């Protein structure tokens, strides 16, 4: 039936228009009215309509008081439930009262019918509808929107949700409300921008108590506890009264209201206010200071109290302010008998500061509302928490000097429903599922992570392992109690995850790897282990059958430097001692052999008793000190290499494994099978059920390698530390996590709790305790089995010391000793030549005499004695 309603209203409207036009032509007065006439269509039964009526009448009276022109006002009543009545009232005002413009109505359903009537007669319709579609002013040029667009309040609500770290909201709106078509998309988009989403949309039928209770029962059983209410005022009051009866206005519930509900909170009776304690509201802001508003405020309160004594609150709100401004704009534009397009043009040129802000039309619309007030219903009224402004977000004050805050938390404490001392978390465990069914893999290969055992009688099951202990520790960090039941599952891990999608389990705990294909059925928490797939292979000794093992204690540069420094030191000693030792003389070949012999025998013996020069003795002592340290270091390092086992993998990488087409192993039921064949291109694979089967197959060469997830490889290598080792790269895939249904609010909560367990070190303690129970006697030897070849960096001071000593001896010998010997020989030659000349005056002194006498036996001993002293 609801599908035929729009067509029915359209047909009735056409008939009304046709009859009304005929009636108007028949009864049209001959003379045009000399004074301005305006009409208004108001719902006199609603609080909004009452405020608008009083405000419009006040605007007309103020116009009369400030000008000479008279302005007639004709008001017709409308009914929200029957929009057709508004169209009939518009026809009566236009044809019967000859109005120049019409103010109202308040809803878009009514406005859409009234504007059709106004467009036929070129009568401007100044609408109070909350949200007019953008296409409306283009379709109907005589439609003027006098209320501001309040869709920005959806962004304010989204920022409130983000401030308190809620992730899901339930939206309650009124069915068959065209405004919802504008509000819901804006709210959904704003929530997505802050990382939240709409969990459920609840459409309420007006004046249907039974359906209201049914919908509240449904959302009461749901997990989400944050509700955004966008309803008419009567339906909102009814909603909160029923919610209080059903104990939904207590702890852990969050209620957020929009305009117009929030702007009319003061008009609610005491019973309604008592059922709204703790709600947060967003209301349109307009300045309430200044002489203009104060005069309006006092006059409005007096007149409203007089005309509507049944209302408990007489204060004007945003709807009264915008009705006053609209009536004032129409009154100013209707001077001089303006009608039709002329009146519309003058109206659209309005520009003044009214009660609700600046009145200036752009494309037949006022500027959108950008500032909203945040309130908290407490006691008989509400507390003003602060403001939300587009672009600057939250603030405690408005205007110049206001301090902006990124979060609503900075505005101060909030009184929530039930007045809890904590902030509601925004969700709860569903009532119909008080105990979560947790699936646990029964056939895990590595029992250290998860192990399911029956007691001796076979009646009860015990669940142990690192994953189970971590899950229990994580639940302890949650701010609430989460009942659960562990249930074993026999089957592959993919099938276990799929059980969540089939609603067999509410979660899965165990050594379940996080892979993309499993996200089709479920959602994972943050991984609690490192991600990776490693290759485990047998080991072989590096020290077996190594012919050049004796060279490994030192690096090649070290061996070269040892040889060079020995030859250099031998040369220095040979040069100094060659004139005193006949063994160091002879042919060139004999002297070279003596030099090399002297260089290397010093490493094993000391020739101090055979040396004649102090310089050579000094060189020899430092040289022997260096030789002693090097030989002892070499002996110790070689012994260490022979006693500590050196291991290397039998297969170094996956390419070698693939080329050999050898058999490889993997854990039964894991994702590794698909990864090996689809990603690594290894098809010759075999599955295993236990660690012992792995080890036996690797030892007996049934498989050449085993691919194990990184956290499980720690356990395997801990048990078989000196038999197997990790080889090749680590493939970044997997990592263990807990599994929940897609979109479950438990995921962020459990992830946060798990991170707390990790940060306090509890997860590390659990891992260390698990690994400590696995003993390996050769573990320490394996850790020390690195490459210990020593380089010159370890001995550079020693080499500089011995090289510097030898160089010093060489310099002293070269520049001081040889110079003294040469001078001695020269003096003796001159003295002998002078004596011969004195004995034989007739003989001439020649160079030959000098050379002959230089070889005199009397001179040589003196020179040798001088050299020996040095």
**pLDDT digits over 252-299, tens only?**
899 999 988 999 998 898 889 999 999 999 999 999 888 899 999 999
| 744 Cβ contact partners less than 8 Å away, ≥ 6 residues apart | 523
In angstroms, what CA-CA distances link 473 with 467, 480, 754, 757? 10, 13, 8, 7
- DSSP character for 513? B
User: Among 336, 365, 360, 337, which residue's Cα sits nearest to residue 349?
Assistant: 360
Q: What does the DSSP 8-state code read for residue 250?
A: S
pLDDT of residue 156: 96
Helix (H) or strand (E) run with residue 170 in it: strand 168-174
Check the CA dihedral 159-160-163-167 and report its sign.
negative
Structure confidence at residue 582 (pLDDT): 58
Angle at 398 between CA 393 and CA 399, to 5 degrees: 110
For the chain, give me the number of helices (H) and strands (E)? 29, 29
Is the preceding omega at residue 260 within 30 degrees of 0, hence cis? Answer: yes
Q: 525 — phi, psi (to 5°)?
A: -80, 180
Beta carbons of 526 and 687 less than 8 angstroms apart: no
Specify the pLDDT at position 814: 78
CA dist 226 to 85, 197, 666, 840, Å?
Answer: 38, 11, 47, 136
Q: 198 pairs with which residues across the strands? A: 169
Q: How far apart are CA 332 and CA 343, in angstroms?
A: 10
Q: How far is CA 604 from CA 610, 612, 628, 632, 804, in A?
A: 15, 20, 8, 12, 22
Q: Given this model, what pLDDT does residue 4 score?
A: 39
Nearest C-alpha neighbor of 126 from the set 108, 148, 142: 142
Transcribe 736-804 into DSSP letters.
B--EE-TT-THHHHHHHHHHHHHHTTHHHHHHHHHHHTS--TTHHHHHT-S---B-GGGTHHHHHHHHH
CA distance 525 to 502: 19
User: Long-range contacts for 547-550 (Cβ within 8 Å, ≥24 apart)?
Assistant: 549/638, 549/641, 549/642, 550/638
> Are the CB atoms for 43 and 75 separated by under 8 Å?
no
CA 829-835-837 angle, 5° bins:
100
746-759 and 466-477 are packed helices; what angle lies between their axes, rounded to 10 degrees? Answer: 100
* Residue 843 near residue 793, CB atoms below 8 Å: no
Rounded CA-CA distance 227/229 in Å is 6
Give 206-248 as a 3 state SS string.
CCCHHHHHHHHHHHHHCCECEEEEECCHHHHHHHHHHHHHCCC
Q: Output the pLDDT for position 598.
A: 64
Q: How much is the pLDDT for 820?
A: 55
State the pTM of this model.
0.61
- Supply 294's token pair: 């104060």
How far apart (Å, rounded) are the C-alpha atoms in residues 158 and 408?
11
SS3 810: helix
Task: State the DSSP H helix or E strand holding residue 292, giving kind and residue range, or none if neither.
Answer: helix 291-307
**Rg, C-alpha atoms of the chain:** 50
φ and ψ of 521, to 5 deg = -110, -20
Beta bridge partners of 226: 254
Query: Which of 490, 482, 474 shows the shortest CA–CA distance to 436?
Result: 482
Residues 422 and 416: their CA atoms lie apart, in Å, by: 9
* Nearest partner of 532 among 707, 761, 721, judged by Cα: 707
Mean pLDDT by 10 residues, the chain (870 residues): 43 46 40 71 92 95 84 89 89 93 90 92 92 84 93 95 91 81 90 88 81 89 90 91 93 93 90 93 91 93 94 91 95 84 93 93 92 94 93 91 93 92 82 77 88 78 92 86 88 91 92 89 91 85 60 82 79 72 61 65 54 74 79 80 64 80 86 87 87 86 88 87 82 90 85 92 90 64 51 78 79 69 50 54 46 41 43
113 Cβ partners below 8 Å, 6+ apart? 9, 13, 83, 84, 86, 87, 90
Structure tokens at 537: 């292979």
Instruction: Answer for the pair 301, 329: CB distance below 8 angstroms, yes or no.
Output: no
3-class DSSP assignment, residue 106: coil
């Amino acid at each position: 039936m609801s599908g035929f309603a729009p067509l029915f209203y359209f047909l009735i409207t056409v008939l009304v228009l046709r009859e009304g036009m005929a009636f108007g032509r028949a009864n049209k007065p001959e003379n045009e009215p000399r004074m301005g006439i305006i009409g208004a269509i108001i719902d006199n039964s609603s609080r909004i309509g009452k405020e608008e009526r009083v405000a419009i009448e006040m605007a007309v009276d103020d116009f009369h008081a400030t000008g000479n022109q008279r302005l007639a006002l004709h008001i017709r009543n409308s009914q929200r439930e029957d929009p057709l009545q508004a169209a009939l009232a518009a026809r009566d005002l236009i044809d019967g009262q000859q109005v120049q413009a019409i103010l109202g109505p308040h809803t878009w359903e009514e406005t859409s019918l009234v504007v059709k009537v106004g467009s036929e007669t070129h009568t401007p319709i100044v609408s109070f509808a909350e949200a007019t579609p953008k296409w409306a002013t283009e379709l109907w040029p005589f439609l003027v929107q006098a209320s501001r667009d309040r869709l920005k309040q959806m962004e304010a609500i989204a920022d409130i949700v983000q401030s308190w770290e809620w992730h899901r909201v339930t939206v309650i709106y009124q069915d068959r409300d065209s405004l919802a078509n504008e509000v819901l998309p804006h709210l959904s988009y704003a929530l997505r921008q802050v990382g939240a989403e709409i969990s459920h949309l609840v459409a309420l039928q007006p004046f249907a108590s039974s359906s209201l209770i049914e919908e509240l029962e449904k959302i009461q059983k749901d997990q989400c506890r944050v509700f955004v209410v966008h309803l008419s005022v009567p339906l909102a009051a009814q909603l909160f009264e029923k919610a209080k009866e059903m104990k939904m206005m207590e702890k852990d519930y969050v209620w957020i209201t929009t305009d117009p509900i929030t702007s009319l909170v003061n008009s609610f009776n005491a019973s309604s206010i008592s059922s709204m304690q703790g709600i947060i509201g967003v209301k349109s802001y307009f300045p309430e200071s200044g002489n203009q508003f104060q005069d309006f405020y006092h006059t409005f309160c007096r007149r409203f109290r007089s005309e509507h004594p049944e209302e408990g609150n007489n204060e004007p709100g945003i709807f009264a302010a915008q009705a006053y401004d609209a009536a004032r704009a129409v009154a100013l534009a209707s001077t001089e008998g303006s009608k039709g397009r002329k009146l519309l043009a003058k109206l659209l040129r309005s520009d003044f500061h009214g009660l609700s802000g600046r009145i200036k039309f752009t494309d037949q619309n006022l500027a959108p509302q950008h500032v909203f007030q945040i309130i908290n219903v407490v006691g008989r009224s509400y507390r003003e928490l602060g403001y939300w402004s587009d672009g600057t977000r939250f603030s405690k004050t408005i205007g110049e000097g206001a301090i902006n805050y990124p979060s609503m938390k900075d505005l101060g404490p909030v009184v929530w429903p039930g007045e809890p001392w904590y902030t509601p978390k925004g969700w709860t465990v569903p009532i119909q599922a008080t105990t979560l069914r947790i699936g646990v893999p029964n056939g895990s290969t590595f029992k250290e992570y998860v192990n399911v055992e029956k007691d001796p009688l076979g009646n009860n099951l015990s669940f142990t392992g690192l994953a189970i202990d971590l899950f229990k520790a994580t639940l302890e960090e949650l701010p609430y109690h989460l009942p659960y039941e562990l249930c074993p599952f026999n089957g592959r891990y993919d099938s276990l995850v799929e059980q969540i999608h089939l609603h067999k389990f509410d979660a899965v705990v165990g050594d379940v790897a996080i892979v993309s294909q499993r996200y089709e059925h479920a959602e994972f928490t943050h991984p609690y282990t490192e991600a990776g797939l490693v290759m485990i292979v047998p080991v072989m000794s590096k020290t077996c059958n190594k012919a050049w093992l004796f060279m490994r204690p030192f690096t090649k540069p070290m061996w070269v430097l040892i040889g060079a420094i020995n030859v250099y030191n031998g040369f220095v000693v040979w040069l100094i001692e060659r004139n005193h030792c006949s063994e160091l003389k002879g042919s060139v070949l004999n002297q070279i052999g003596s030099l090399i012999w002297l260089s290397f025998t010093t490493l094993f013996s000391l020739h101090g008793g055979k040396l004649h020069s102090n310089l050579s003795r000094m060189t020899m002592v430092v040289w022997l000190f260096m030789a002693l340290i090097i030989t002892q270091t070499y002996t110790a390092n070689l012994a260490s290499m022979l006693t500590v086992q050196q291991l290397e993998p039998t297969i170094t990488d996956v390419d070698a494994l693939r080329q050999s087409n050898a058999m490889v192993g993997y854990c039964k039921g894991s994702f590794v099978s698909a990864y090996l064949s689809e990603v690594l291109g290894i098809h010759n694979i075999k599955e295993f059920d236990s660690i012992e089967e792995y080890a036996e197959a690797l030892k007996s060469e049934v498989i050449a390698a085993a691919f194990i997830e990184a956290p499980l490889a720690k356990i395997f290598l801990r048990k078989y530390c000196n038999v197997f080792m990790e080889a090749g790269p680590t493939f970044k895939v997997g990592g263990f996590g807990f599994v929940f249904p897609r979109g479950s609010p438990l995921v962020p909560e459990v992830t946060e709790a798990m991170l707390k367990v990790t940060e306090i070190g509890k997860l590390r303690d659990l891992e260390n305790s698990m690994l400590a129970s696995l003993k390996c006697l050769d573990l320490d030897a394996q850790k020390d089995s690195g490459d210990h070849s020593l380089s010159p960096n370890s001995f550079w001071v020693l080499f500089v010391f011995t090289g510097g000593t030898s160089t010093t001896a060489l310099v002293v010998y070269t520049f001081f000793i040889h110079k003294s010997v040469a001078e001695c020989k020269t003096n003796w030659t001159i003295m002998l030549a002078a004596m011969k000349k004195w004995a034989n005056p007739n003989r001439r002194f020649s160079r030959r005499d000098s050379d002959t006498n230089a070889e005199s036996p009397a001179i040589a001993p003196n020179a040798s004695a001088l050299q020996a002293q040095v």
